[in-house]
Amino acid sequence: MTTESVAPVEVSSTTTDIPATVRRLRQTFATGRTRSVEWRKGQLRALERLMTENETAIADALDKDLGRSPFEAWLADVASTAGEAAFAAKNVGKWMKRRHRLLEMSQLPGRGWVEHEPYGTVLIIGAWNFPFALTLGPAVGAIAAGNTVVLKPSEVAPASAALMAELVPRYLDKDAIAVIEGDGAVSQELIAQGFDHLLFTGGTEIGRKVYEGAAAHLTPVTLELGGKSPVIVSADADVEVAAKRIAWTKLINSGQICIAPDYVIAEAPIRDQLVDRIRAAVQEFEAGNAAGKKIVNERHFNRLTTALAATKGQVAVGGGSDPAGLKIQPTVVVDPDPGEPLMTDEIFGPILPIVTVQSLTEAIDFVNARPKPLAAYLFTKTKAVRERVIREVPAGGMVINHLLFHFATHKLPFGGVGPSGLGAYHGKFGFEEFSHRKSVMTKPTRPDIAAFIYPPYTEKAWKLARKLF
């Protein structure tokens, strides 16, 4: 995911006493109160209320930061976060239960199970493109697991960050969950506190810096990064449906989504039809919005327009921009050079390259010649094509005949692989991500059946041990 830098600077831009805040949360954890199922359920239900009772204020903040429509604000940030919290509140008691394992003959008599133990005090560094869903969303798993939590929202979405800082202490346990605002220097100071777990959402390069900072304290990390998520459109696909779904998901939040379709690979027989249908979909979806889609800030606007100006591909749709309004028209570029910025850098905007290939094999090879993406998508009507792409294309997650929806379910893990991320969350997977899975075994003292393995070692004991072990 493209995001702002957290490069070191001399002075952190926060008035919060970070060490004191972290110390307070650690003291709360030490009391044991966050471990009870009642506390976890209560906080999760309160988080759900925070989102639903403040929908209008959240939508206003997202409009100020990102120019987000109320519907998209509700769908992407409010509904997803509230739903995640409600699902966890309903199921956390079940997730916490011990699951006994049947032990081997050599371990009997005895019982064993996995105890899901909270790490302690954890840090969540959120992203600006979905400020609530990508900050409070991961917090659901951390709270469900029984941790105390520091939330660091992105300074690139200041209205959302300020609202979060206002709402969280009103709804949630102030001594267990804290919001700390600030820039990259604040993130670095936080990482230096040596948390018990850390989750970061952002770009791959910054993710490396976060990983390096956490490594000094042996802090386990979850990294939700980004990359160039491909869409393969096979020759047998329903092109009309594919075009509408690709266009819609590329335009949500102006394409500023870590799992947005970054480029399309279309088989030659349907390429032109696909371009035409995407053009028609864009015209339908963006009627009355000729100026284009709002970009978060001038830096990202300049990055996108520079990449567009440098393309060697054919601009088949859009291409215009408005520097004063930081807006870019939804744009389709056909067959850009594989070495140009549109094809080497994560786009994170309303620009969609389409690459023409002659076969499915060529499409798969094109994807696999690049770093493993956070998401990969395929449109096809054929089971054999579907199964081949699932088998041969590595990715953090995959959706067939649609896009993005694997993020919206509580029943599947969400995360990357390789340079696109480390670890996963959502639903039970978030609970497990923020829990230490502690092995527990208990054995009786009488009768002491294993006494035969004590010294002095005999030939008879050795023979018996060989049979058991």
Closest CA to 150 of 113, 103, 199: 199
Residue pair 340/310 in contact (Cβ under 8 Å)? The answer is yes
> How far apart, in whole angstroms, are the C-alpha atoms of residue 233 and residue 36?
49
Q: How many CB atoms lie within 10 A of CB 134?
A: 26
List 181, 258, 346, 433, catalytic entry? 258
Q: How far is CA 331 from CA 100, 240, 247, 314, 353, in A?
A: 55, 18, 10, 10, 8
Q: Cα-Cα-Cα-Cα dihedral of 317, 319, 323, 325, to 10°?
A: 0
> How far apart, in whole angstroms, are the C-alpha atoms of residue 195 and residue 413?
23
Closest CA to 426 of 88, 48, 27, 14: 88
Q: How many CB atoms lie within 10 A of CB 284?
A: 11
List 48, 155, 224, 432, catalytic entry? 224
Residue bearing tokens 């819609």: 248
Q: How many CB atoms lie within 10 A of CB 392?
A: 13
Q: List b or e across 158-185, with b for residues whose CB sees 16 or more CB atoms inside 10 angstroms.
A: bbbbebbbebbeebbbebbbbbbbbbbb
Q: Is 4 a catalytic residue?
A: no
> How far apart, in whole angstroms, are the C-alpha atoms of residue 123 and residue 199?
6
Which residues does the annotation mark as catalytic? Answer: 224, 258
